Amino acid sequence: MEFGVITLGDNRPDVLTGRMRTAVEHHEEGLQLAEKAEALGFNSFHVGEHHGCDYITSTPSVVLGAAAARTKKITLSTATALLPVHDAIRFAEDYATVDVLSNGRMEVIVSRGILARSYSDLGFSYDDSRALFKEKIQLVLELWRNENVSWKGEFRPPIDSYTVQPRPVQKPNPPLWIGGGFSEDSILLAAELGLPLMLPSVVLPPTLFAPMVEKYREQFQDRGFGGPQVGALSHTHCAKTLDIARERYAPRHMDYMDWVGQELMPWGLEPILPPDADPPSLPKADFEQARTEGPLVVGSPQQVIDRLAAFIEACALDRHLLHMDTGALPQDILFESMDMIAEEVLPHLGWTHQER
């Protein structure tokens, strides 16, 4: 069982202190998070991608390249990369470069994303997202695996005998995971292409995705990339007691979730709404409901163990990713939570930790 650490790049004021990080401070803290994750033996470090909003890590390949220079063993990955809005050749080149800089420690998780606005802002149609996604996954894998690639598809001019440089270190290709699970489309695509699956379980608990996971495993086709693998992720915070965890984390997490539900989602879905439609919004965050019935993992070490164990068992997970820097959580509190999770939680969950 592997565990990773995520940063999605949200840059909002700390609701408890009012602190607002500069972009320089935020990116430096992200690189410190990668160093801390490696020092504690976490298996992977992941950077999210968003555009035009208060998630400010828009180019995870650059951040991961910087992390490659400051780490030596940890796997470097995305969480997730929006492959449909990228040119497949440039995407393959960018992440092959990270693979070279890290000496074979790079992987990517790719998805269609949840903000339709990213498509229109970057010159694509959200209506094409499914077809774009499949075509570009197949092309990226072809470019990583082979030299002198010739290709003809629907969404770009034909390619004639093109070789991506630099060549990735990992053979036959760096790992590529498909992020999805709200519909069968991404589940079945991952199974069809023989790729690992990462569940979008920061919105719903992994337990609710169990039927999708079963379908994925049933439909999985071996394409030479390895067997079926399933991952999930959770907003996570650990402290000595639930009361301490609640005091530190609940106001920040609820402010973050209210921003996502009340501001970000309506903004991101505007391009695909009917002209007279009111933008949708999610209900106001309910911390206790999310902690006890939803996807949130917060509490004492034993409470965190119990929640994660239930998630792992429900979907027979191979990897679980922890998003712990939500809501401008101060770095000292974040690192204290990470220390406790690495020392008192993960050893009880079958963790195969990275050699330190």
List, for residues 258-269, the tens digit of each pLDDT value.
999 888 888 888
Q: Is residue 284 part of a domain?
A: no
- 352 and 43 in contact (C-beta within 8 Å)? yes
Residue at 176: amino acid letter:
L
Judged against a pLDDT cut of 60, whether residue 90 lies above it is answered with: yes
pLDDT bracket for residue 311 (50, 70, 90): very high
Mean pLDDT over the full length of the chain: 94
pLDDT bracket for residue 114 (50, 70, 90): confident
**Closest by alpha carbon to 10, among 223, 328, 228, 353?**
328
138 lies in which domain range?
A: 2-253+295-348
b/e code 122-140 from CB counts within 10 Å (16+ = b): eebebeebeebbbbbbebb
Q: Is residue 24 part of a domain?
A: yes
Q: Is residue 263 part of a domain?
A: no
Q: Is residue 264 part of a domain?
A: no
DSSP assignment of 30-42 equals HHHHHHHHHHTT-
Q: Is residue 11 part of a domain?
A: yes
CATH of residue 18? 3.20.20.30
Total domain count, the chain: 1
10 Å Cβ neighbour count for 349?
17
Region at 335 (left for phi over 0; alpha for psi -120 to 50; beta for the rest):
alpha
- Using CA atoms, how far apart are residues 24 and 141, in angstroms rounded to an integer? 34
Q: Is residue 272 part of a domain?
A: no
Residue at 153: amino acid letter:
G
10 Å Cβ neighbour count for 172?
11
Q: Is residue 101 part of a domain?
A: yes
Q: Is residue 92 part of a domain?
A: yes
Kindly state the average pLDDT of the residues 277-285: 72
Q: Which pLDDT belongs to residue 73?
A: 97
pLDDT in tens, 226-276: 899 999 999 999 999 999 999 999 999 999 999 998 888 888 887 766 777
Q: Which pLDDT belongs to residue 281?
A: 66
